[in-house]
Structure 1
Amino acid sequence: MSSADVLGPVAEAVVAPRATTHAPPGAAVAVEEGGVRHVAARGVADLDTGEALTARHAHDVASVSKTLTLLALRRLFADGALAESDPLARLLGSRAGRHGEVTLDELLRHRGGLAPWWPLYLVPGFRDDPVATALARPAHSARGAVRAYSDLGLQALGGVIAAATALPFADAVRTLVLDPLGATTVTPGRPSPGTPTVSGPDGDAIEREMVRSGDPYPVDADADAFAWRTETVRGVAADGNAFHAFGGAAGHAGWFSDVDGLLRVAGALAGPERLGLGERTASALATTLDPGQGQGVRVYRLRWRGEDRVFLGHPGFTGTFVAAAPATSAAPEVLAVLLTNRLHGRPAPGRDRLVATEQLWLETMAHADAALHPTMTGERP
């Protein structure tokens, strides 16, 4: 069931010009509450053509992809194929390198001590085994001591899923998660043929500058001879490791989706029973050992319809967000999706001009609450 374009002003607020930061050229916003779906899209998918953005456009969801890795692992935990306490060495053997004792739960909670990021594509021989290349990097912090958000840890978990299922990673996620959810519009590496898609950044400019400057992560690799992308990225992953090293989808990034596909994923976060999972999964996702970090998802407490609600979600660097508030005895579940092309611009924005995806989402949810529940918030749409 869907309703009128009540979220139109909310999407317009996302793309409205900002004084000191780059506003996304286009945005799609969706909230599904109590079975009623509200969707709105505003702005453009591509600044050069002026193509209007719609809810059907596929977006590179970047780190929102990590929720698919999480859900696939929860299926394998439930089936008994894997356990949260399993060390990497049990599944990957010598490929786990110096991180063999790190457990799957530690990686999901970003407590495995792995480096936050590394341009694997600058390591000689990276195509032979990008997972092993990631795990050959030295530890960034003491295992289990502190939360240190790590793309490399999720890349390793993608390798674990492939090893445990004897399937390519993307095929395993399709079998374990997407097919059961009917999420046919969530695709690995690129959108389905004929699907409209949005434009992203100017090639690898952001990562190239990260390597050059060493900000925020010092890199000692030789980048001079690398074939950096320079054209506008559209229809392939913007993330350099997903595109160059893994050739598409990986445990940390590289999936594409439209609004409907991510709402189905949000449904599994709110109600794991949709994937045949039970209370153990619901409890694990919401349990925080570090502030705001659940198992594979971030945990937020937001004011919604006059009450404090817990939302489980994840941002993506491209300007995407998926979130869900599980149903309570007093309130229905709430599913939320934000899809923007915040890396696209003329001129293309540098990292210092990008408004944080999490900030975009928090602003969007506040505006959506006011639009959908004016009598609760005291505001009007």
Structure 2
Amino acid sequence: MSLSRRTVVGGGIAAGAAFLLPGAARADGADRPFTGFAPPSTVLREGTPLSVGLDPAPIEAAKEQVRSHQVAAPGGRPLYPGHVGLMAHDGVVVATQVDGFALRHRTATEELARSVWVPMRRDTIFDLASVSKLFTSIAVVQLVEEGRVELEAAVAAYLPEFAAAGKESVTIRHLLTHTSGFTSWLPLYSRYPDRASRIAAVMNQPLTNPVGTVYLYSDLNLITLGVLVERLRGQSLDEVVAARLTRPLGMSDTGYNPTATPRTAATEYQAVPARGMVRGEVHDENAWSLGGVAGHAGVFSTVDDLAVLAQALLNGGTYRGARVLDRRSVTLLITNFTQAFPGDDHGLGFELNQTWYMDALSGPRTAGHTGYTGTSIVIDFDSRSFAILLTNRVHPSRSWGSINVARQEWARGLGLALPITPRGSHVAWETGPEHASTAVLAVPLAVPSTGARLGFDLVAETEESDVLRVETSTDGSTWSLVPLVIRHPGDTRTGEEDGTVSGTPGEQRWAQVRADLPAGQQVLRWRLTTDATTLGRGVSVSRVRVVGQGGVVVDGDASPDTFSASGWTLRRRS
């Protein structure tokens, strides 16, 4: 049973709301990516994974995994004291989780009395750290949209002092895409006495690399853009973001310099500078020294406010009738301007296709950002889905480690929940999400003397280091790769592979694969090997048929029991 997509109209994120008929299932799977944007009238509603055709099991697994990191391993420390997470798909909030504590520690080494620990709430306000860069980037793109700034114009055309030390050719695009040549960071807070001298230090800073020759993530890029926004608008950055972004979208819990309340998550205990337990003011020392308002850090928000921003972008720049960007501008945000630097895909302010935290949601049209304090947002335009994870991982100390594993798990849970359905009445074999593993699907064949033709449908969504190999063997010990011809429906290009497939994050369409098999008794197998770091969605194989001159040798739909599988799961659709 299927039901066509319906537009959701209403206000806010309403508890218990539903927009699908009882028992109905979504016809759209991960293998049927959306194009363009969601209907502009789409407003977030609470629902369940099943209500929009998602598999709840991966989502529940992700919840448990993310929760488990709040418990210290023997001899170790927890990754964070608490978290708030949200997942949404096609306008429906399908999962939330609130767990742990917003405040737990007195110092870097001493806990508060258990009776005064402050629990996380769904409306806990988090220091977003570098996720703030997205707000500055949107403010700049709004200026581009209005014609007040040209993307390829020199920054010095708007900030003449920026031309110092040989930066005359740095453009607005260079700053937005971290290809300016700037160094990553400067200790502005400790090296200069006041805000004016700190800003001047950025303007006077020479480049570390020639303009446009390297991708190097730099806070200085966004500090500069924050100054540019203030100069052209005649307002402080916090006033601009409030007037032109958060207030129109109804993001009432988002802004700079909040006060410390029970709703505010604590960050780090800082002895140098002597700030004590930081709570209600920005954690980043440079942003703090700039008064809490800077282009690279300083924004505080909640998971529900960020959900509204994510949906507004999926809607093409509008939410509940308030338009903050036009559709062309949103397209620019998620256009890869750094193709010269493979692996560092970057739109205007937004990172793209980063498997190290986007995991199974990764793809060319997946945008997002992370924050040093333990925050992340992942927005997949192809599936109209997003996953937000907010933690206070630097509470009480930044030295307690990275939370990338949790970011991956949260995004992976939603990515794996998106169905990949066999075409028609077929079966499909799918690999599971396992690090450092080998999954093997095999079938014995008796290929006639004239040879045979192999055909199957394939979705392979893997990172470069997770490799699918299609192989044959006559003795079970020596294996030979089977050269493949791969074609996507609707695509006139045909790809030829040596028998291996990898490096295809976001490849969610069924491809048609064909190959010639030699004569004789043999075993055909699909073998996926994964490394110990990130995972893509994995591999799905469907409609397997081997046909020789005398007829069908193997029909995977008619006789799936002839296959042996380790690490693969059989799915049926009738």
Specify if TM > 0.5. yes
Q: Which residue is equivalent to 2:100?
A: 43
* Aligned equivalent of 2:402, options 355, 367, 370: 355
Kept in 2, the 8 Å contact 1:110–1:148? The answer is yes
Structure 2 counterparts to residues 321-336 of structure 1, below 5 A? 321-326=376-381, 328=382, 331=383, 333-336=384-387
TM-score, normalized by length of structure 1? 0.82
Q: Which residue is equivalent to 2:138?
A: 71
Kindly state the Cα deviation for residue 50 of structure 1 after the two structures are TM-superposed.
2.1
| CA distances 1:47-68 after superposition (whole Å, capped 9, x unpaired) | 1232211121000000000000
Q: Which moved more, 1:285-294 or 1:255-264?
A: 285-294
The yes-or-no answer on 1:287 pairing with 2:336 is yes
Q: Aligned partners of 2:47 and 2:197: how far apart in 1?
A: 48
Structure 2 counterparts to residues 8-87 of structure 1, below 5 A? 8-18=63-73, 22-37=78-93, 38-47=95-104, 48=112, 49-87=116-154
Q: Which residue is equivalent to 1:314?
A: 369
Q: Which residue is equivalent to 2:285?
A: 240
Kept in 2, the 8 Å contact 1:135–1:152? The answer is no
Kept in 1, the 8 Å contact 2:65–2:406? The answer is no
The yes-or-no answer on 1:196 pairing with 2:263 is yes
| CA distances 1:151-185 after superposition (whole Å, capped 9, x unpaired) | 01100000000111111111111122212222121
The yes-or-no answer on 1:107 pairing with 2:175 is yes
Q: Aligned partners of 1:147 and 1:26: how far apart in 2?
A: 33
Q: Which residue is equivalent to 1:256?
A: 300
Which has the larger helix fraction? 1
Q: Give the SS at the match of 1:69.
A: helix
Structure 1 unaligned blocks of 5 or more: 209-227
| CA distances 1:189-216 after superposition (whole Å, capped 9, x unpaired) | 225x75611111112x5xx5xxxxxxxx
The yes-or-no answer on 1:296 pairing with 2:349 is yes
| CA distances 1:228-249 after superposition (whole Å, capped 9, x unpaired) | 12411111101001111x1012
Amino acid at match of 2:240: A
Query: Structure 2 vs 1, CA of residues 172 and 355 (structure 1 numbering), >3 Å: closer, same or farther?
Result: same
| CA distances 1:92-119 after superposition (whole Å, capped 9, x unpaired) | 1125533343111000111111111111
Kept in 2, the 8 Å contact 1:97–1:135? The answer is yes
Query: Structure 2 vs 1, CA of residues 325 and 369 (structure 1 numbering), >3 Å: closer, same or farther?
Result: closer
Structure 2 counterparts to residues 132-281 of structure 1, below 5 A? 132-191=200-259, 196-203=263-270, 228-244=273-289, 246-274=290-318, 275-281=324-330
Q: Which moved more, 1:285-294 or 1:366-375?
A: 366-375
Q: Aligned partners of 1:170 and 1:258: how far apart in 2?
A: 17
Higher relative contact order (Cα pairs below 8 Å, separated by 6+ residues): 1
Q: Aligned partners of 1:248 and 1:11: how far apart in 2?
A: 30
Query: Structure 2 vs 1, CA of residues 12 and 371 (structure 1 numbering), >3 Å: closer, same or farther?
Result: farther
Q: Aligned partners of 1:141 and 1:126: how far apart in 2?
A: 28
Query: Structure 2 vs 1, CA of residues 118 and 309 (structure 1 numbering), >3 Å: closer, same or farther?
Result: closer
Query: Structure 2 vs 1, CA of residues 133 and 88 (structure 1 numbering), >3 Å: closer, same or farther?
Result: same
Larger radius of gyration: 2
Kept in 1, the 8 Å contact 2:333–2:349? The answer is no
Kept in 2, the 8 Å contact 1:242–1:254? The answer is yes
Kept in 2, the 8 Å contact 1:108–1:295? The answer is yes
Structure 2 unaligned blocks of 5 or more: 1-44, 49-58, 105-111, 319-323, 422-429, 434-574
Kept in 2, the 8 Å contact 1:30–1:40? The answer is yes
Query: Structure 2 vs 1, CA of residues 265 and 100 (structure 1 numbering), >3 Å: closer, same or farther?
Result: farther
Q: Give the SS at the match of 2:388.
A: strand
Kindly state the Cα deviation for residue 91 of structure 1 after the two structures are TM-superposed.
1.3
Q: Aligned partners of 2:359 and 2:377: how far apart in 1?
A: 17
Q: Aligned partners of 1:16 and 1:194: how far apart in 2?
A: 25
Q: Aligned partners of 2:135 and 2:100: how far apart in 1?
A: 28
Query: Structure 2 vs 1, CA of residues 372 and 46 (structure 1 numbering), >3 Å: closer, same or farther?
Result: farther
Q: Aligned partners of 1:182 and 1:42: how far apart in 2?
A: 25
Q: Aligned partners of 1:103 and 1:181: how far apart in 2?
A: 30
Q: Give the SS at the match of 1:31.
A: strand
Kindly state the Cα deviation for residue 35 of structure 1 after the two structures are TM-superposed.
1.6
Query: Structure 2 vs 1, CA of residues 284 and 261 (structure 1 numbering), >3 Å: closer, same or farther?
Result: closer
Q: Aligned partners of 2:67 and 2:419: how far apart in 1?
A: 18
Q: Which residue is equivalent to 1:343?
A: 394
Amino acid at match of 1:73: V
Query: Structure 2 vs 1, CA of residues 262 and 70 (structure 1 numbering), >3 Å: closer, same or farther?
Result: same
Kept in 1, the 8 Å contact 2:317–2:326? The answer is yes
Query: Structure 2 vs 1, CA of residues 165 and 377 (structure 1 numbering), >3 Å: closer, same or farther?
Result: farther
Percent of paired sites with the same residue: 26
Kindly state the Cα deviation for residue 84 of structure 1 after the two structures are TM-superposed.
0.7
Amino acid at match of 2:89: E
Q: Give the SS at the match of 1:135.
A: helix
Q: Which residue is equivalent to 2:547?
A: none
Kindly state the Cα deviation for residue 321 of structure 1 after the two structures are TM-superposed.
0.7
Q: Aligned partners of 1:284 and 1:103: how far apart in 2?
A: 16
Q: Which residue is equivalent to 2:426?
A: none
| CA distances 1:308-340 after superposition (whole Å, capped 9, x unpaired) | 6742000000000112111x4xx4x11221100
